[in-house]
A and B are shown apart, each in its own frame.
Chain A
Amino acid sequence: MMASRLPMAAAPTLATPQKINVIQGEYHVSADSNVMLTTVLGSCVSTCLHDPVAGVGGMNHFLLAEQTGRGTEDAMRYGAYAMEMLINGMLKLGARRERFQAKLFGGARMMAGLSDVGADNARFALKFIEDEGFVLTGHSLGGTAARRVEFWPSSGRARQRLNVAEEPAAAPPKVPVKVDLGEVELF
């Protein structure tokens, strides 16, 4: 007697997830659902843009003051350029700026006593998003902790991990208190 043969179900094809690190001064855009963009931010700011209709997204990573050191307007021109590169990359993949949704991360105060470059970066990014009329769907800016941000460009999902001790910038306690905030799904 022949054994009955069950039809074989097709094995699911799972593409290997691709992790792309976006370093300072660079950007990356993608419509690939297997791509995850990641970066580590101190006082730098990262903009994560997403077009939910086109399924396109991208991330940049910039720092205003240290890039130019020639005053506020030079710094802003650098920031606007960093944003423009990301936007143009998105448009080339079929995104439309009227559908842009933005998430902003970073801008921490990493060293007490120095000028708050992180706050300048965060302020610039928030004003840029508002001026250009993009929808701000989430942000985590400021504080004193470095962040690792992960962003899935095709879905627009983002999460961050705060991986540095939260300490007051002005008057640190005698015994530093480590706060492990773990991995936090934000949006």
Chain B
Amino acid sequence: MPAASSLKVLVVDDQLTMRALVRSGLQQIGVTQIQEAADGEDALRMVVERPVNLILSDYNMPKMDGLGLLRAVRTYGPTSKIAFIMLTGRADTDLVKRAAQFGVNNYLVKPFTVQGLRGKIEQVFGALT
């Protein structure tokens, strides 16, 4: 049963507003160690330098999208075990299937609730304390 405060999470989204809302949701469930990146390239650079436990990533982003980030993370040894939850739109079923092929751990459909966010993280890590 991991403590939410021990989780290191990287939030990746090109919209500042969405990053702020995800950060706020994470804080409400007790996560305190939160980093942010605005695209897949920045995110990849950050996790290579400072590994995290979980990447919460949007799909549609400039430079490198969420699927590109997932593939890059999974193919590089030191980052290959990082849990990855993809934030998707309502109609993105094909995206979820492709992400599953590349080893995504879970997905969260936007607009999401804090309870929904917590539920998806707990499906990956077990109940949070």
* A interface residue numbers (CB < 8 A to B): 68, 70, 73-74, 76-78, 80-81, 83-85, 87-88, 91, 97, 128, 131-132
**Interface residues of B, Cβ cutoff 8 Å to A:** 14-18, 20-21, 24-25, 60, 62, 89, 110-114
Q: In the docked arrangement, what's the CA distance between A68 and B112, Å?
A: 10
Further 18 A-B residue pairs, CB within 8 A, beyond A83-B15, A84-B110, A131-B16 = A70-B113, A74-B113, A76-B17, A76-B21, A77-B110, A77-B112, A80-B15, A80-B21, A81-B18, A81-B89, A81-B110, A84-B15, A85-B89, A128-B17, A131-B17, A131-B20, A132-B15, A132-B17
CB distance from A75 to the nearest CB of B (A): 9
Closest 8 CB pairs of A and B: A81-B111, A77-B111, A78-B111, A88-B60, A80-B17, A81-B110, A80-B18, A131-B16
Interface centre among B17, B25, B60 (most CB of A within 10 A): B17
State whether B113 touches A83 (Cβ < 8 A): no
Report Cα–Cα, A89/B15, bound state, in Å: 14
Closest to B18 in A: A80
- Chain B CB within 10 A, most for which of A74, A77, A83: A77
Interface of A is mostly: helix
Residues on A with C-beta less than 8 A from B20 are 131
In-complex Cβ contact of A73 among B15, B60, B114 (8 A): B114
Q: Which residue of chain B has its CB nearest to the CB of A89?
A: B60
A85 CA to B60 CA, complexed, in Å: 10
In the bound complex, residues from chain A placing their C-beta under 8 Å from that of B114 are 73
Contact A77 B16 (CB under 8 A): no
Which residues of A sit under 8 angstroms from B14, Cβ to Cβ?
97
Smallest CB gap from A70: residue in B? B113
A120 to chain B, nearest CB (A): 15
Given known contacts A81-B111, A88-B60, A91-B60, A73 and B24 CB-to-CB distance under 8 angstroms: yes
Q: Which residue of B lies closest to A67 (CB)?
A: B111
Give the docked Cα–Cα distance between A132 and B14 (Å): 9
Measured between beta carbons, the chain B residues less than 8 angstroms from A132 are: 15-17
A131 to B15, CA, bound (A): 9
Query: Cα distance A73–B117 when bound, in Å?
Result: 13
Q: A80-B15, A88-B60, A91-B60 are in contact. Are A73 and B21 (CB under 8 A)?
A: yes
A77 to B109 alpha-carbon distance, docked (Å) = 11
Complex contacts, B25 vs chain A, CB 8 Å: 73, 77
Can you give 12 A-B contacts (C-beta < 8 A)?
A: A73-B21, A73-B24, A73-B25, A77-B25, A77-B110, A83-B17, A84-B60, A88-B89, A97-B14, A97-B62, A132-B16, A132-B17
